[in-house]
């Protein structure tokens, strides 16, 4: 093995490629931000760091470090999302609409039901809760009108694909690849819908000429990344300019990453072995997984509460987000999956039933990255935004724990089923005799006579029910 493949950068790439490790790193940074923002010894320091202003000389772009992490650094993550989306739409799971129809529809269902449940919970608290009728009492004792609290309806719509796949990697080692593919397709469409939500509902559009600038940058990027020899300096300048144009236009600037990612070619060109979108996403993945996302999570959860008390657990905002993510996500996904396959004419991937998707559907309740972002955009009030982000953290941890238990049990069932169907075989050469031990300890014997296999039987001579395949083997139903 070459020294290059064993160097420190190769180790970094291996860590970034692991859903399990990168997910745990981001979770660690998120918890560290929450703790540092609320410990008396570090709260003031964290507040100063988060609001320490940095600016680009000669422009009016001046923001705090925490704001730069959200609007600037997170663009790397959205660029990777855009590149992966382009690859999936061109040659991946989303290129065959019929095959991807069920998970795509499930993603829509998983984004419709949670907002309904969130608004319903908030409405119940506003009517029957401790505050005045039509208002909500949150953990610090402040009251807010229902209309303002309901602005957070979009917070529980997004699924964090990195964390959900990390849960699968930890607890679902024996599950068929079709479940992971189903979840990846669903989460990819979920990301696309979340991007549309941010662009439509959380943008305040400014002067029209900024959009002309965005269009010019998009055209320039389109042609530059299709040149035989890509001018990387020019690409970097166009990428930065497109971010600035988005920011000035009033569109959330991280969407510049999605735009240029979708304009990158996803088929091999000029005899190259891999498509450029795939290659660029692979190179940017370490920066996204180990730099952009952990730092964003660190500042996103670093919200200061007047007092962290049990009252936070019964806050209308927190309960609404927990119900929406932990209950609403799997409910929407499973309802759409059942309707599309039992009422409609669509089919699940081969070998999967609708009920097999329930543990993975629960894992889709892990909101995290995009939910944190939407929480900061949905609420102008700092207390509401803080409680919303706290609710996202609790709901994501709860969804991860529940799905982990369910996936672990499901994985054991699939493992036992595989052992029953594909028991270890010991074939005696010459006699053509095959001895198969099933998972329950039953020994099944079969013998080939004249090139044909005789009816298998238990060791007591009882014939085994089964179905003959083309190769003459018996498989249990």
Read off the pTM: 0.78
Look at residue 349 and tell me whether its pLDDT is greater than 50. yes
**Of the options 3.30.70.20, 1.20.1530.10, 3.40.50.2000, 3.30.43.10, the CATH number for the domain spanning 14-203+252-420:** 1.20.1530.10
Three-state DSSP state, 270: coil
Assign residue 434 a region: left if phi > 0, alpha if psi is -120 to 50, beta otherwise?
beta
Look at residue 9 and tell me whether its pLDDT is greater than 60. yes
What are 105-147's pLDDT values in tens digits? 999 999 999 999 999 999 999 888 777 788 888 877 788 898 8
Percent of the chain with pLDDT over 70: 86
What are 406-456's pLDDT values in tens digits? 988 888 887 777 777 655 544 444 445 554 544 444 445 555 444 444 444
Mean pLDDT of the chain, nearest integer: 82
Bridge partners (DSSP) listed for residue 82: none
pLDDT, residue 106, reads 92
Look at residue 189 and tell me whether its pLDDT is greater than 80. yes
Look at residue 1 and tell me whether its pLDDT is greater than 50. no
Percent of the chain with pLDDT over 90: 32
Higher pLDDT, 87 or 446: 87
Q: How many helices (H) and strands (E) does the chain have?
A: 19, 11
Look at residue 234 and tell me whether its pLDDT is greater than 50. yes
CA 380 → CA 121, 166, 196, 311, 385, distances in Å? Answer: 21, 32, 20, 22, 7
* Dist. CA 336–CA 319, nearest whole Å: 24
Region 86-112: mean pLDDT is 86
Of residues 376, 273, 391, 233, the one with CA closest to residue 326: 391
pLDDT, residue 408, reads 87
Q: At what angle do helices 369-378 and 382-421 cross, to 10 degrees?
A: 160
Three-state DSSP state, 129: coil
Bridge partners (DSSP) listed for residue 435: 426, 445
Q: Where are the domains positioned within the chain?
A: 14-203+252-420
Look at residue 206 and tell me whether its pLDDT is greater than 60. yes
* Rounded (to 5) percent helix, strand, coil in the chain: 65, 10, 30
Bridge partners (DSSP) listed for residue 428: 433
């Amino acid at each position: 093995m070459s020294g290059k493949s064993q160097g420190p950068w190769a180790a970094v790439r291996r860590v970034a490629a692991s859903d399990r490790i990168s997910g745990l790193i981001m979770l660690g940074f998120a918890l560290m931000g929450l703790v540092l923002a609320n410990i008396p010894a570090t709260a003031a320091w964290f507040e100063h760091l988060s609001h320490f202003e940095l600016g680009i000389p000669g422009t009016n772009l001046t923001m705090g470090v925490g704001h730069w992490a959200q609007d600037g650094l997170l663009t790397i993550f959205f660029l990777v999302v855009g590149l992966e989306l382009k690859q999936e739409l061109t040659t991946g799971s989303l290129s065959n609409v019929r095959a991807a129809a069920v998970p795509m529809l499930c993603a829509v269902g998983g984004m419709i039901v949670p907002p309904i449940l969130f608004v319903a919970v908030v409405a119940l608290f506003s009517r029957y809760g401790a505050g005045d009728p039509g208002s909500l009492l949150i953990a610090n004792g402040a009251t807010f009108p229902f209309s303002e609290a309901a602005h957070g309806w979009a917070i529980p719509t997004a699924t964090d694909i990195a964390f959900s796949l990390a849960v699968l990697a930890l607890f679902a080692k024996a599950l068929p690849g079709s479940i992971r593919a189903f979840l990846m397709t669903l989460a990819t469409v979920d990301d696309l819908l979340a991007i549309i939500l941010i662009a439509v509902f959380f943008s305040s559009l400014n002067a029209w000429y900024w959009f002309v600038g965005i269009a010019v940058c998009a055209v320039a990027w389109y042609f530059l990344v299709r040149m035989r020899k890509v001018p990387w300096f020019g690409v970097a300048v166009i990428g930065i300019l497109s971010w600035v144009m988005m920011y000035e236009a009033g569109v959330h600037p991280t969407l510049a990453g999605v735009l240029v990612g979708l304009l990158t070619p996803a088929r091999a060109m000029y005899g190259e072995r891999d498509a450029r979108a795939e290659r660029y996403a692979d190179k940017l993945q370490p920066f996204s997984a180990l730099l952009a996302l952990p730092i964003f999570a660190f500042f996103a959860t670093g919200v200061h509460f007047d007092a962290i008390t049990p009252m936070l657990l019964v806050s209308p905002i927190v309960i609404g987000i927990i119900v929406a993510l932990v209950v609403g996500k799997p409910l929407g996904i499973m309802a759409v999956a059942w309707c599309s396959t039992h009422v409609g004419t669509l089919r699940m991937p081969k070998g999967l039933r609708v009920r097999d998707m329930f543990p993975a559907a629960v894992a889709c309740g892990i909101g995290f990255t995009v939910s944190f972002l939407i929480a900061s955009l949905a609420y102008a009030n700092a207390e509401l935004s803080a409680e919303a982000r706290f609710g996202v953290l609790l709901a994501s941890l709860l969804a991860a724990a529940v799905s982990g238990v369910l996936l672990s049990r499901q994985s054991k069932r699939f493992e036992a089923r595989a052992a029953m169907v594909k028991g270890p075989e010991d074939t005696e050469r010459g006699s053509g005799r095959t001895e198969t031990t099933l998972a329950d300890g039953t020994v099944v014997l079969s013998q080939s006579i004249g090139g044909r296999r005789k009816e298998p039987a238990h060791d007591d001579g009882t014939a085994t029910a089964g179905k003959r395949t083309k190769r003459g083997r018996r498989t249990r139903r």
